[in-house]
Amino acid sequence: MKLLQKIDIGNLELQNKMAMAPMTRSRADANGLVNDLTVLYYTQRASAGLLITEAINISVQALGSPFTPGIFTDEQILAWKKVTKAIHDNGGKIIAQLWHTGRVGHSIDRAGILPVAPSAIAIQGQQHFTSKGPKEYETPRALETSEIKQIVQDYKQAAINAIEAGFDGVELHAAFGYLPNQFLVESANIRTDEYGGSIENRSRFVLETMQVMVDAIGENKVAIKLSPSIPFNSIIDSNPTDLYSYLLSELNKLPLLYVQLMNAMFPTDHLPQYPRDVIGVFGKLSNHLVMANGGYTRETGELELEKGIAKMISYGTLFLSNPDLPKRFELNAELNLPDRATMYGGGEKGYTDYPALN
């Protein structure tokens, strides 16, 4: 199987072409610290070619959901060092996904402070998971230009902190409607300064952030996750093909580790401008290693690799419920079913108690 073949990306030698996709699990404490249960969770899954962490907040301001980890204090860095050491001791490689949620948050879990965003436009038709139950989204505060430049620096510092914590690299979470994604699209960005208006201006935040992280931690250590055809979190653009074609062409100028592309996971019949074949349309535009994400099985992942555009496949829920997923794929063994009720928050149940094969 191609999925089980070794692959070298950047300076990393990976034991297979299967990555564990980033998945929020909401098991950190109130101070954004991961614990020994988190160490166990990732260590159980160290047979993945590459582990990508749950999204990690880059600052206090970045926080959107309760019980999510950070990487902006010394204590948080020390806590992550236990995870990375355990992964490396077990022969694995691990990347930190860096996160600023922007408007995808609520003041309830932000000490009463409103979320920030490119523009003062609220997410419509959805509710946010908070420590006090589901809540309607608030209208965020629009960022000042000077604040945007500070957030770029926050990403830079988070990347430096991740390397100090022992991670093999970082991934910018620029997908699924979080802050970088908000800058990219017209539905969330109506700015009139250098960060709004044209495709070039709306791409500026992502490109500046990627550049400063590359400058800070070096070549082949920075990656990005994009979701060109996902309208979730009120992310709508009139011409995503032109937008992401430009963005990918500019990212081609940087020495990146990989580009992770999410498939179109939501109905887009009402959005005919959104390509359904994300890997076919956008993957071929990238000069970097392309990692395909979203809904893959053993069989469809193998087929995607055979097409030749994607070189790795990332699995989310399947890795959540099957810590030894590569071995199960190798043996074509039965898979554990995920317990969706225990995905977010709680303790070991639905986190570290999924059985491995005997």
Per-residue pLDDT of the chain (358 residues; tens, 9 = 90+): 999 999 999 999 999 999 999 999 999 999 999 999 999 999 999 999 999 999 999 999 999 999 999 999 999 999 999 999 999 999 999 999 999 999 999 999 999 999 999 999 999 999 998 989 999 999 999 999 999 999 999 999 999 999 999 999 999 999 999 999 999 999 999 999 999 999 999 999 999 999 999 999 999 999 999 999 999 999 999 999 999 999 999 999 999 999 999 999 888 889 999 999 999 999 999 999 999 999 999 999 999 999 999 999 999 999 999 999 999 999 999 999 999 999 999 999 999 999 999 8
DSSP structural state of residue 251? H
- 114 occurs within a structural domain: yes
Instruction: Write the CATH number for 244.
Output: 3.20.20.70
- 170 occurs within a structural domain: yes
297 close to 313: Cβ distance less than 8 angstroms: no
Q: Taking the model in full, what pTM does it have?
A: 0.97
Which residue numbers are catalytic?
A: 178
Question: Distances in Å between the alpha carbon of 235 and those of 58, 137, 178, 238?
Answer: 22, 14, 9, 10
- 349 occurs within a structural domain: no
Residues 6+ apart with CB under 8 A from 156: 209, 212, 213, 215, 216
- 356 occurs within a structural domain: no
Distance CA 76, CA 78 (A): 5
- 350 occurs within a structural domain: no
∠ Cα 42 44 47 (to 5°): 95
- 164 occurs within a structural domain: yes
Domain residues for 300?
A: 2-342
Q: What does R_g of the chain's alpha carbons equal in angstroms?
A: 19
Q: How many structural domains are present in the chain? A: 1
256 close to 169: Cβ distance less than 8 angstroms: no
Question: Distances in Å between the alpha carbon of 122 and those of 205, 273, 325?
Answer: 20, 23, 39
- 150 occurs within a structural domain: yes
- 39 occurs within a structural domain: yes
